Amino acid sequence: MKNLVFLPLLLLLMGTSSYAQDPERKWAFGIFLGKNEYDGDFGSGIANPDIAFYPLGGLSLNRYLTPSFDAAVFCTYGQYGYYKSPQFSFLGTKTDGSLLLYYKLANGHIFRKDALLRPFLAVGLGVATYSGSRMEGGTDITLPIGGGIKYCYSRSVAFQYQLLMNYTNNDNHDGFVNGYNEVYVTHTIGLVLTLGTSEDKHGKYTPTSIGCRQLAPRPKPSKKKKGRLIF
């Protein structure tokens, strides 16, 4: 029953015409919070509520390319670890950076360009470095694959959730090697803001989120002149 109620609401938001893609504002800045999840020789912390929370912070710089594609530099820093037992555990910090290519589903072909909710897919190439006294340090080449969804809240703010599964080229950061490279997942949620302004039809400049055009102000109702009675 809940799904039957949620589905029409989701479709309504997908089809709501409030904000549109704005290619003239090509740059945007994002700030995020989230968590790291490990998958490797000791087990999997992906979607595992029994594993400790390993927080991270992130930043992004986004660039509009076409109605279907955006590019971004996405970086995070935070705790990274896993605990199964005192013998099978590790803990440290991880810093990563990726160059991402986004495919926007709200491109006019799948969903409307001016939908409030805008899902996307992501793929890229990155680097991750690890450090800590309770883990093996080093540097990895990463292949991030994932997606997310953006909600256009206002003429200057968009909220974004993103999940990236990062495949690495190493298998030693947990201190155990069996030939299967480690994988980690980053969950992030945050704000995306534009770096620029947009001129509306009234000549007023306002900041605009990348992919979220500002609402033009509603015209004020004209004041009717009161007529005079002539006798």
Helix (H, G, I), strand (E, B) or coil at 76: strand
Q: Look at residue 17 and tell me whether its pLDDT is greater than 60.
A: no
Q: What are the residue ranges of helices labelled H in the chain? A: 2-14
Answer yes or no: are the C-beta atoms of 54 and 37 closer than 8 Å: yes
**10 Å Cβ neighbour count for 35?**
20
**What percent of the chain is modeled with pLDDT above 70?**
74
Is CATH 3.30.70.360 correct for 18-206? no
Q: Kindly indicate the confidence band of residue 223, based on its pLDDT and cuts at 50, 70 and 90.
A: low
pLDDT tens digits along 163-189: 999 999 999 999 889 889 999 999 999
* The predicted structure's pLDDT at residue 7: 41
Answer yes or no: are the C-beta atoms of 114 and 67 closer than 8 Å: no
Q: Look at residue 79 and tell me whether its pLDDT is greater than 90.
A: yes
Q: Look at residue 208 and tell me whether its pLDDT is greater than 50.
A: no
User: pTM for this one?
Assistant: 0.78
Write down the mean pLDDT value for the chain: 82
* DSSP single-letter state for residue 196: S
Q: How far apart are CA 12 and CA 104, in angstroms?
A: 18
Q: Look at residue 195 and tell me whether its pLDDT is greater than 80.
A: no
* The predicted structure's pLDDT at residue 90: 96
Q: Look at residue 126 and tell me whether its pLDDT is greater than 80.
A: yes
Q: Kindly indicate the confidence band of residue 113, based on its pLDDT and cuts at 50, 70 and 90.
A: confident
Q: Look at residue 129 and tell me whether its pLDDT is greater than 70.
A: yes
Lowest mean pLDDT among 14-23, 33-42, 86-95, 187-196: 14-23
